[in-house]
Structure 1
Amino acid sequence: MPSRQYVLTFSCPDKPGIVNAVSGHLFGHGANILESQQYSDPETERFFMRTVFALVESGASFEALRETFAVPAGRFAMQWTMRDRGDRRRVLLMASKFDHCLADVLYRWRIGELPMEIVAIVSNHPRDTYRHLDFEGIPFHHLPVTPGHKAEQEAQLWTLIEDTRTELVVLARYMQVLSNALTERLAGRCINIHHSFLPSFKGARPYHSAHARGVKLIGATAHFVTADLDEGPIIEQDTQRVSHHDTPADLIRIGRDIERRVLAQALRCWLDDRLLLNGQRTVVFSV
């Protein structure tokens, strides 16, 4: 079996013949399907599919296959991507004072668990804030947010995103609210980790709010960023049981572990093209 693999993902209006058209096109261009997942949403009447394939016929060309796939894609009005699975996606990480999510992502990246190219780390705090973290080989940018100058800071950030050809921005506990203009530019390619099981306890101090309500479960949520604060399509969530003995400080400590694993799982799904937008929701194909 060829070691080089490719992945096709798409969504389109649901109608008969989609799977046949896709599999027939792949077969006709020398491809063998290795895995395939699909979902038909009865509410939105849209069809979602993720297919991993390899080229097994002599002379088969990925470039030709991708170029000619525009024909069935156009016939079914698909929103689609097709890429070499081995290509490293370009990711920009952002963090503020709390660095546990940033540290976890860096660790998983360095051991090969999150195969990506980290193009930059951006923070509104200076480099010394993270002096215990290993940033070797990763450009660090201190972009402070000062009153009355947020637009200038975001302009610098957007220039950096464009210059580095960033594909995904990850807010790894970046505790600044992005402007509507920036979130619109980053639609579908900016993931945030929120320290709450959304839609409960939005805002900046969710663990304190949860403690005040005496909750017995706390959680974390990874979601796409939109102009509506903490309202973007949810990608991944997890929870852990707590009790009346736990103080707000205990909830924050317990929550750090949940936040780390939820963000890592969301990022892993995005990197492997397992994540498709479905309006205000997401379709996440299992690993």
Structure 2
Amino acid sequence: MATSKPVTAILLMSCPDRKGLVATVAQFLHERGANITHADHHVDPEAGIFFMRVEWEVEGFSLSPEETRQEFGQLVETFEMKWSLHYSNQVQRVALFSSKDDHCLLDLLWRYRAGELPHAQMPILISNHLDHSHIAKEYGMDFRHFPMTPETKASQEKKEIEVLKDYEIDLIVLARYMQIVTG
């Protein structure tokens, strides 16, 4: 019998490097009953920026998501920290970008249809070619075509961003999207 994975919280952060950052985060989590299941951190020495990703089981943690955001936000006010908090059971709205080759796109969509991506919704496929409009239709996705030339790239990317906002997209997956995505 398969057992379901425990729900976890994932905290991503970056800020100017200084002593005590790892200890501060670990102490915050420990004091609230967190069981840390994964933690990574490193410093970009050239930029002096600290990066950390920490994941812990929600069961046994004493704070709700909103309380966690509030208390952690207060804790790190002095660190000039950029951070985000996500939960493994949250549904992510995913936009797929693809060009002409379809193998990566199809692999993702097959896995999605098979239930291997249970916390994803894929409402839209965006492409710089028309080749995959039929795939989007087959999977019940909207399709948007934004042809790219050096002259139209900036204006087309602005339109893409508007579509992403309209669809409330959380995550972009580049499935063999053969364009360099700028700013």
Tell me which interval the TM-score lies in, with the shorter structure as reference length.
0.7 to 0.9
Contact 1:99/1:130, CA 8 A, preserved across alignment: no
C-alpha distance in structure 1 between counterparts of 2:25 and 2:163, whole Å: 37
Task: State the number of aligned residues.
Answer: 178
C-alpha distance in structure 2 between counterparts of 1:45 and 1:25, whole Å: 23
Judging changes above 3 Å, is the alpha-carbon distance between structure 1 residues 54 and 126 closer, same or farther for their aligned structure 2 residues? Answer: same
C-alpha distance in structure 2 between counterparts of 1:137 and 1:88, whole Å: 18
Judging changes above 3 Å, is the alpha-carbon distance between structure 1 residues 59 and 150 closer, same or farther for their aligned structure 2 residues? Answer: closer
1:246-281 C-alpha deviation (Å, 9 max, x unpaired): xxxxxxxxxxxxxxxxxxxxxxxxxxxxxxxxxxxx
- 1:84 corresponds to which letter in structure 2? Y
- 1:10 corresponds to which letter in structure 2? M
- Bigger relative contact order, structure 1 or 2, given CA contacts below 8 A and separation 6+? 2
Whether 1:122 aligns to 2:126 is yes
Structure 1 counterpart of 2:35, from 32, 37, 40: 32
Identity of aligned residues (%): 37
The 5-angstrom pairing of residues 36-51 of structure 1 reads 36-51=39-54
Contact 2:136/2:143, CA 8 A, preserved across alignment: no
Gaps in structure 1 of 5+ consecutive residues: 185-287
Name 1:104's counterpart in structure 2.
107
The 5-angstrom pairing of residues 198-213 of structure 1 reads none
SS state at 2:164 partner: helix
Whether 1:75 aligns to 2:83 is no
- 1:118 corresponds to which letter in structure 2? M
1:197-243 C-alpha deviation (Å, 9 max, x unpaired): xxxxxxxxxxxxxxxxxxxxxxxxxxxxxxxxxxxxxxxxxxxxxxx
- 2:87 corresponds to which letter in structure 1? D
- 1:100 corresponds to which letter in structure 2? H
Contact 1:29/1:65, CA 8 A, preserved across alignment: no
Offset, 1:10: 0.9
Offset, 1:88: 2.5
Q: What do you get for the CA RMSD once the two structures are aligned?
A: 3.1
Structure 2 counterpart of 1:18, from 10, 18, 21: 21
Contact 2:136/2:142, CA 8 A, preserved across alignment: no
- 2:164 corresponds to which letter in structure 1? I
Contact 2:125/2:136, CA 8 A, preserved across alignment: no
- 2:122 corresponds to which letter in structure 1? I
- 1:65 corresponds to which letter in structure 2? T
Offset, 1:5: 1.3
1:166-220 C-alpha deviation (Å, 9 max, x unpaired): 2333332334565xxxx22xxxxxxxxxxxxxxxxxxxxxxxxxxxxxxxxxxxx
Judging changes above 3 Å, is the alpha-carbon distance between structure 1 residues 132 and 59 closer, same or farther for their aligned structure 2 residues? Answer: closer
C-alpha distance in structure 2 between counterparts of 1:42 and 1:146, whole Å: 38
Contact 1:96/1:125, CA 8 A, preserved across alignment: yes
Name 1:166's counterpart in structure 2.
169
1:136-178 C-alpha deviation (Å, 9 max, x unpaired): 2322233445897666644542321110012333332334565
- When Rg is computed on C-alpha atoms for both structures, the one with the higher figure is 1
